[in-house]
Chains A and B, each alone.
Chain A
């Protein structure tokens, strides 16, 4: 138990569906992240939220839409996805430290997404 909870753990959706991934952290951290892990590829940063403000969008297609309503919750809204978007989506949180540093990352278990 890392203190970061993701739901659902598994999701299968069609290309025309709209779904959302949810992440909740119970650690009092002030930064939250979405990462994507595709088969045979390194983890890729998608979005960073710090103090509920999006501070990083790593050239992610608009069919992925993040939302951070408060410092404990992070969503990833999905619509009109493609089969190549099938991957493990990992949420993480950290306590942002000094300007050029970050605290240790705490990851959720991930949401495995399959797009048919």
Chain B
């Protein structure tokens, strides 16, 4: 069993829909990251959070430390949101921010 599990693995939506991607982890962490990877391969960091909630534009990330769970929400989804969304955690106790990654969620938004 992976230390970081994402669901769903694949998600298809219609433009305008509200989208939720979930991430659960089983280890102690100092921070959780949400990353976006487009087909070309490059990865962009969307959020880094250790508690509560962060919002950037149409994206919202929440984390519940007690339940070891995080969600990424996309409001008013758009075809340009189509990408792979990756959850990763910085393991607690490592000085150099070693990240452990989930397997990713492939999101396709149709017009």
Q: Do A and B interact with each other, yes or no?
A: yes
For the complex, what is the distance from the CA of A106 to the CA of B44, rounded to whole Å? 7
Binary per-residue interface labels of chain A (65-77) against chain B in the complex, 1 for a CB within 8 Å, 0 otherwise: 0000000000000
State whether the Cβ of A31 lies closer than 8 Å to any Cβ in chain B.
yes
Q: Given A50-B96, A107-B45, check contact A43 B101 (CB 8 Å).
A: yes
Q: Given A43-B88, A102-B31, A105-B45, check contact A96 B40 (CB 8 Å).
A: no
Interface of chain A: mostly helix, strand, loop or mixed: strand
State whether B97 touches A94 (Cβ < 8 A): yes
Of residues 66 through 116 on chain A, the ones whose CB sits less than 8 Å from some CB of chain B are 88, 90, 92, 94, 96, 99-110, 112
Which residues of A sit under 8 angstroms from B97, Cβ to Cβ? 31, 48, 94, 96, 101-103, 105
For the complex, what is the distance from the CA of A31 to the CA of B99, rounded to whole Å? 13
Residues of A in contact, count (CB < 8 Å): 30
Residues of B in contact, count (CB < 8 Å): 29
State whether A43 touches B86 (Cβ < 8 A): yes
State whether the Cβ of B92 lies closer than 8 Å to any Cβ in chain A.
yes
Which residues of B sit under 8 angstroms from A43, Cβ to Cβ? 86, 88, 99, 101
For the complex, what is the distance from the CA of A110 to the CA of B37, rounded to whole Å? 11
For the complex, what is the distance from the CA of A31 to the CA of B96, rounded to whole Å? 8
